Chains A and B, each alone.
Chain A
Amino acid sequence: MSTANNMESTQPIIKLADLPRQEPFVLHADDRAAIEHETHHYEDPRAATIEALKIVQHRHGWVPDGAIPAIGQVLGIPGSDVEGVATFYNLIFRRPVGRHVIKVCDSVSCFLTGYDDVKKAFSAKLGVELGQTTPDGRFTLLPICCLGACDKGPVLMIDQDTHFDVAPDHIDQLLEQYK
């Protein structure tokens, strides 16, 4: 890493061989059908882009590289447009995540009611910082903005479940529900 910022180095910073190898992506027939169904809700198939990304993510946990052109093909738009959308929104993951994703609200009301302590407790328990996944692939820890339950802060989501009034000593019990 010491040469990472050295512009004169002849070593490439990222070697192709070091990148994770991905299997060729095949859009599942059910997912293709689901995406095509969604396009009927709109005047323009492009509008189903976010839903299409969610459908793929639901199956794979994240949106693999190969899914981007595949979705573009179904919707009749360039893959670059799909990528533009995929990288814009918080809930679309373009990198692999753990089996369960913990999203801790760090907006102002939760900040005032104990976000820092909750976040520290998660980091200590799981051994990861925000943006990281546990080595066993079970949890990814992410920040999220206001979850609209500010009277019950601190608030967080694990997968699709929202948990209210979370305190650091609840965390062991909370995580047990997600294997």
Chain B
Amino acid sequence: MSALPYAPHPDGDRKPLTYRVNLASPPDLKAYEAQDGYAALHKVVKEAPAEVTKAVKDANLRGRGGAGFPTGVKWGLVPMGADAPKNKYIVCNADEMEPGTFKDRLLMEGLPHQLVESMIVSGYAIQATRGYIFLRGEYVVAAERLNKAVAEAKAAGYLGQNILGSGWNFELFVHTGAGRYICGEETALINSLEGRRANPRAKPPFPQIAGLWGKPTVVNNVETLSNVPHIVLRGGAWFQGLSQGKSKDAGTKLYGISGRAKKTGCWELPFGTSAREILEEHAGGMKDGLKLKCWLPGGASTDFLMPEHLDLAMDFDTIAKAGSRMGTGLLTVVDDKQNIVSVVRNLEEFFARESCGWCTPCRDGLPWTEKLLYALEQGQGREGDIQTLEQLTHFLGPGKTFCAHAPGAMEPLQSALKYFRAEFEAGIAKAPAQAAA
């Protein structure tokens, strides 16, 4: 550790992503540089691009956007060398719209330069010609701060021609969207960035081969990319050690709690911290008079888990084994005063509204699901409705649709049916519904 090219900040070794975050007044270029900012960029431009990808692979960095795909592997698929296409792109997925997720906003509003540096360093790894931060249109403050950071970085020579004498040219743009959840799906995001309706594309070809304007493109989440400069500076072994043996997944994770808990919020913790620690120690437990009924581990498109699952480590494999997905890692807690049918109806209303309409099971199946749930919520359900919902979880499940939108929508529904069937049954009308007068 003695060979570090900078003076390490003690918190930087423990909470690399957030120790410099300042939501009220994020560090400008000078302040960021004074806190090791752009040290990673100065370091990488003296190395071969492949070294950066290797460092990310060695660190075992996995995508923080929900799927957990190994970042270094993704980058490794990009054509490199003299025969590679001239234009290549790195795109940051900053379209944070998964209900219950509020981590990327924190990183972009509180430390915009970290994402800008991350984009440049990651762009160098794949020798990208341009980068785009695909930011959701509602993040007005983040857009303003990121644009300012990009302008400062450009003025400092961190963007543009022959960056830091490396001979590498790179431009970075902030692209703001106009609101649609499906833009978070990487191929839909690429269509949206090209100025088209955000329908997903068929894979293969994968974006690393043919993405934006048919050129090699890497799409990574904000939190994923933000880890890269720290891995470059401190190394893979340090990164693997951050999870303190709580998980075989490496690094820290931005975990959070929303719902009716005492102190809702978002915290950077070792990867694999238990859901119980997040809820009880960091959020102070449920509000007085409320009990935990169930929880979504990482957004609307993850299966519900129960109070008995709280001791599980919040990592990709452990949560998958319990029948759900870690997703974005921000928990939504549902209290015992809530009717599960209403909560699921709310979730499915969201998915039905946000379906892009490209394929039939999703376009027609989600509004049908919502309609059945609405009837059950009103006590107007009919015999057979629950069986129909169960069938829909299959017809809209994995492999039946073009992208993961509808299968994601089915996850909270199928788990709610499993754990709380009686509440659905209570929504079936006892007597035949009377005809409207």
Chain A positions within 8 Å of B, measured between CB atoms, are 41-44, 46-51, 53-54, 75, 77, 81, 84-85, 88-92, 103, 106-109, 111-113, 144-153, 157, 160-162
Contacts and interface: CB of A to CB of B under 8 A. Distances in A.
A90 B296 CA distance: 26
Given A92-B178, A111-B343, A150 B195 contact: no
A91 B195 contact: no
Given A41-B175, A50-B178, A162-B140, A151 B260 contact: no
Contacts of B260: 112-113
Contacts of A152: 264
B102 A148 contact: yes
A108 B347 contact: yes
Contact of A46 (B96, B194, B332, B338): B194
Nearest to B197: A88
6 contacts: A50-B177, A85-B196, A107-B350, A148-B105, A150-B256, A151-B264
Contact of B346 (A51, A54, A108, A151): A108
A49 B99 CA distance: 27
B interface, size bucket? 35 or more
Contacts of B175: 41
Nearest to B179: A90
Contacts of A146: 97-101, 300, 350
Contact of B179 (A75, A89, A111): A89
Contact of A109 (B96, B136, B140, B259): B259
Contacts, number: 141
A151 B265 contact: yes
Given A112-B332, A144-B179, A146-B300, 4 more contacts: A145-B97, A146-B350, A149-B102, A150-B100
B330 interface: yes
Instruction: Give the interface SS of chain A, mostly helix, strand, loop or mixed.
Output: mixed
A161 B141 CA distance: 9
A48 B194 CA distance: 8
Nearest to B261: A151
A112 B295 CA distance: 12
Contacts of A51: 176
A62 B175 CA distance: 20
Contacts of B213: 43-44
Most buried by B among A48, A51, A108, A147: A108
A128 B312 CA distance: 46
A44 B195 contact: yes
A112 B331 CA distance: 13
B354 A109 contact: no
Contacts of B300: 107-108, 146
Contact of A111 (B98, B192, B264, B346): B346
A148 B101 contact: yes
Contacts of B347: 108
B364 interface: no
Interface in B87-131: 87, 96-102, 104-105
B99 A108 contact: yes
A152 B265 CA distance: 8
Contacts of B350: 106-108, 145-146
B264 A150 contact: yes
Contacts of A54: 137, 176, 178
B198 interface: yes
A92 B343 CA distance: 28
Contacts of A90: 178-180
A107 B195 contact: no
Contact of A148 (B139, B198, B354): B139
A150 B98 CA distance: 10
A148 B195 contact: no
Contacts of B178: 50, 53-54, 89-92
Contacts of B334: 112
A19 B264 CA distance: 49
Nearest to B349: A106
A151 B258 CA distance: 5
Which 6 A-B pairs give the minimum distances between C-beta atoms? A90-B179, A89-B178, A150-B258, A151-B264, A107-B99, A49-B195
